[in-house]
């Protein structure tokens, strides 16, 4: 099932639909999940419905509840889904927030606020609250038809609260139900008083919290990687909203950022009516208080305040106690990404187009390769710091780990061991700490975490200074200086640390420049819109293939020109035209053979390089696949659009030829086909 455009009401959090589908998958497999989606008649994929940031309608929720109950053949399905929420992967941020409240009693007091994180169609009230009991009312809003399945799911969730604190589930008496004609559902909940947990149960509870922390760290790392990988401000702003919404459940979101160029504010929102967006953005940028139902944080770095990020609840609702700290983490990543983008944008504006930047890249290539930078730094550290061994480790945000890029050690075995080292954040608390506070670490085997202790003992070092390599607030990696027993200076926190930090700063500058130049090289040889090789790179590759192709092999070139592209631009706008080109590029990539090259030459012209054809006729099969790319319509701005293409073919064999000549031949053949088709249509019309 393909993804759908999300236009329905935001009434049910993806945390709820995600729990349901994971329960079905756990008890009956992926095939059952597909059956549930088909019976419920929802036009969304399981992956979409499992995103915490995706909100669907109340009607979709109830249809999914009913379908799951029918497929599993268990009338208690929804009660079990709620009861097993913790084991099914309840949103990590919510688990941590609940744990931070300290006791079931405090959670039940705050439950009306928590309901807003799962649904906007109901209201809960605490009628009575004691040390080990509470009476709650749960009312569906006017205009919605009550479902007993929804009531059972709520009962399961309410009962599971004590388990987060290592206690047995609460006992719940359903006093009255809206399905039976009562004005509200009434629940009386009792639970055991908190007590000192046994060792085994304490380990289980700690493991739950550790899992939630690791998941939260993974989401943060993913957010950092996505933001740093973004290429424009608009994409960064949208990803900030999307990533924050995954971690902190709220029905509405708004991000308002001041335009660095002095233009109108840049605003991205989700789940808010248009009538509220402008006024709320103005309030946020003015630094005013938007009200108790809005949780706000500054998007600020050490260099500047960019704007504010807000989670928006219904009036009368609000966030739970510790959400602001979680949002601040995403705001910090966002500010760092915006700082980087602004710096890159300034560099692009000051440069004389990509050609000048590429010339500069060639001049600096020998001194700015990331691998060479790391090797030079590692070789210099023993002389600068006076250590016996040293290493430079680079941060891989996608994998969440440090990988050794260069190392110096007197023993060959230790060099090989360190070179192969990979340190994952979830296995090394010291790394998590450094990612959090960006401060150096002084490491000794006896006080290190198990994995790090094993590595230090194998390397036969007893003292290590590890300094983060930072570009602003962006974590690039770590430089280390190490000593064996008895050789470390008396005070590592003084001059040694100062010099190591100085080397780390130089490494950061060099690595940042190397990455910028790698980006520039890519931009100079690739189309910015589609990411495909541009004409320069295509002709370069074609020339290389022609120079190395054997006499009994053939080289083919396809030249593709879109039909009706101008009509799309004129009717739907240039943004739709750009999206069409991106979709065409994606389809062409999927249609070609391994080893072929797709290029966007200019405008709506694409070319395909077919190296090593055994026979000239082999190109026809690729042509058929290319034409097949346009058999289905394209969805642009919510509109289905049919676009065709004209394809020209040129195949080279025999003596060496010129790349530009072969491309011109394919271009000429394409126009012959285009005119022949046009003449045929004209004749048919006559």
Q: What integer is the mean pLDDT of 178-187? A: 91
pLDDT per position as a tens digit, 89-116 = 665 555 655 665 668 888 888 777 777 7
Res 538: pLDDT = 93
pLDDT per position as a tens digit, 223-244 = 555 555 555 667 777 777 777 7
What is the band of 496 on the pLDDT scale with cuts at 50, 70, 90?
Answer: confident
Domains of the chain: 14-195 (3.90.1520.10), 203-347 (3.30.450.40), 363-523 (3.30.450.40), 535-685 (3.30.70.270)
Determine the Cα–Cα distance for residues 625 and 62; give it in Å rounded to an integer: 43
Given a contact cutoff of 8 angstroms between Cβ atoms, the answer to whether 306 and 258 are in contact is: yes
Res 33: pLDDT = 94
Res 301: pLDDT = 79
Res 363: pLDDT = 31
Q: Which of 111-125, 139-153, 392-406, 540-554 has the lowest mean pLDDT?
A: 111-125
pLDDT per position as a tens digit, 127-147 = 998 889 999 998 998 989 999
Res 682: pLDDT = 52
Residue 11: pLDDT over 80: yes
pLDDT per position as a tens digit, 282-324 = 888 888 888 888 888 888 877 788 888 888 887 766 666 566 7
Determine the Cα–Cα distance for residues 462 and 279; give it in Å rounded to an integer: 59
Q: Which of 21-25, 316-320, 472-476 has the lowest mean pLDDT?
A: 316-320
Highest mean pLDDT among 191-195, 468-472, 576-580: 576-580
pLDDT per position as a tens digit, 343-375 = 666 555 444 333 322 332 233 234 456 787 787
Residue 566: pLDDT over 80: yes
Res 3: pLDDT = 40
Q: What integer is the mean pLDDT of 401-406? A: 91
In the chain, pLDDT over 70 holds for what percent of residues?
Answer: 83
Determine the Cα–Cα distance for residues 480 and 468; give it in Å rounded to an integer: 9
Residue 181, beta-bridge partner list: none
Res 212: pLDDT = 46
pLDDT per position as a tens digit, 46-101 = 998 988 778 889 999 999 999 999 999 999 999 998 888 776 666 555 565 566 56
pLDDT per position as a tens digit, 517-554 = 677 777 888 888 998 999 999 999 998 888 888 887 88
Higher pLDDT, 507 or 149: 149
What does the buried/exposed string (b/e) look like for 190-217 if buried means 16 or more CB atoms within 10 Å of the residue's CB? ebeebeeeeeeeeeebeebeeebbebbb
Task: Identify which of 448, 457, 371, 368 has the alpha carbon closest to the alpha carbon of residue 418.
Answer: 457
């Amino acid at each position: 099932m393909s993804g759908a455009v999300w236009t329905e009401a935001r009434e049910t959090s993806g945390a709820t639909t995600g729990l349901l589908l994971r329960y079905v998958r756990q008890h009956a497999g992926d095939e059952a999940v597909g059956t549930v989606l088909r019976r419920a008649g929802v036009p969304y994929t399981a992956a979409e419905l499992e995103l915490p940031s995706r909100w669907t309608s109340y009607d979709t929720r109830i249809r999914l509840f009913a379908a799951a109950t029918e497929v599993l053949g268990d009338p208690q399905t929804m009660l079990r889904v709620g009861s097993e929420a913790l084991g099914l992967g309840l949103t990590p941020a919510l688990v941590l927030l609940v744990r931070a409240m300290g006791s079931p009693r405090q959670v039940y007091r705050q439950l009306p606020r928590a309901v807003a994180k799962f649904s906007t169609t109901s209201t809960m009230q605490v009628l009575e609250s004691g040390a080990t009991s509470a009476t709650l009312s749960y009312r569906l809003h006017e205009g919605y038809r009550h479902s007993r399945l929804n009531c059972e799911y709520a009962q399961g969730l309410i009962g599971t609260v004590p388990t987060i604190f290592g206690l047995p589930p609460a006992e719940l008496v359903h006093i009255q139900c809206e399905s039976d004609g009562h004005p509200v559902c009434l629940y009386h909940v009792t639970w055991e008083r908190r007590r000192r947990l046994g060792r085994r149960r304490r380990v289980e509870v700690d493991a739950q919290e550790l899992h939630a922390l690791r998941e939260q760290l993974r989401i943060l790392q993913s957010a950092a990687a996505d933001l740093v990988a973004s290429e424009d401000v608009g994409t960064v702003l949208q990803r900030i909203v999307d990533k924050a919404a995954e971690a902190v459940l709220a029905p509405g979101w708004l991000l308002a950022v001041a335009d660095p160029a002095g233009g109108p504010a840049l605003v991205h929102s989700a789940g808010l009516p248009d009538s509220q967006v402008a006024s709320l953005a103005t309030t946020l940028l003015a630094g005013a208080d938007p009200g108790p139902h809005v949780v706000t944080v500054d998007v600020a770095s050490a260099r500047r305040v960019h704007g504010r990020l807000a989670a928006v609840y219904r009036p009368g609702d609000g966030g739970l106690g510790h959400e602001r700290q979680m949002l601040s983490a995403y705001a910090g990543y966002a500010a760092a990404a915006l700082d980087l983008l602004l710096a890159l944008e300034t560099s692009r504006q000051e440069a004389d187009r990509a050609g000048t930047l590429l010339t500069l890249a060639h001049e600096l290539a020998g001194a700015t390769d990331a691998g060479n930078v790391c090797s030079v730094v590692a070789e210099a550290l023993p002389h600068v710091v006076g250590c016996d061994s040293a290493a430079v480790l680079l941060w891989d945000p996608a994998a969440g780990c440090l990988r050794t890029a260069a190392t110096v050690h007197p023993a060959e075995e230790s060099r090989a061991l360190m070179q192969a080292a990979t340190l994952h954040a979830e296995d090394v608390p010291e790394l998590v700490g450094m990612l959090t506070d960006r401060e150096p670490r002084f490491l000794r085997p006896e006080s290190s975490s198990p994995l790090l202790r094993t590595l230090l003992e194998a390397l036969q070092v007893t003292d290590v200074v590890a300094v983060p390599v930072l570009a602003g607030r962006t974590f690039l990696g770590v430089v280390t200086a190490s000593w064996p027993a008895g050789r470390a200076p008396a005070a590592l926190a003084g001059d040694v640390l100062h010099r190591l930090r100085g080397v780390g700063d130089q490494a950061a500058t060099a690595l940042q420049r190397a990455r910028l130049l790698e980006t520039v090289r890519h931009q100079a040889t690739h189309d910015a819109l589609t990411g495909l090789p541009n004409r320069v790179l295509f002709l370069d590759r074609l020339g290389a293939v022609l120079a190395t192709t054997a006499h009994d092999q053939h080289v083919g070139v396809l030249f593709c020109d879109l039909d009706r592209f101008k009509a799309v631009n004129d009717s739907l706008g240039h943004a739709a035209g750009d999206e069409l080109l991106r979709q065409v590029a994606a389809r062409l990539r999927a249609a070609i053979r391994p080893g072929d090259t797709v290029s966007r030459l200019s405008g709506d012209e694409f070319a395909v390089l077919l190296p090593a054809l055994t026979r000239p006729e082999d190109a026809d099969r690729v042509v058929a696949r290319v034409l097949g790319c346009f058999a289905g319509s394209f969805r642009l701005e919510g509109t289905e659009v049919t676009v065709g293409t004209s394809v020209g073919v040129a195949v080279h064999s025999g003596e060496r030829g010129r790349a530009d000549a072969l491309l011109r031949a394919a271009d000429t053949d394409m126009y012959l086909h285009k005119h022949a088709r046009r003449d045929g249509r004209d004749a048919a019309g006559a």
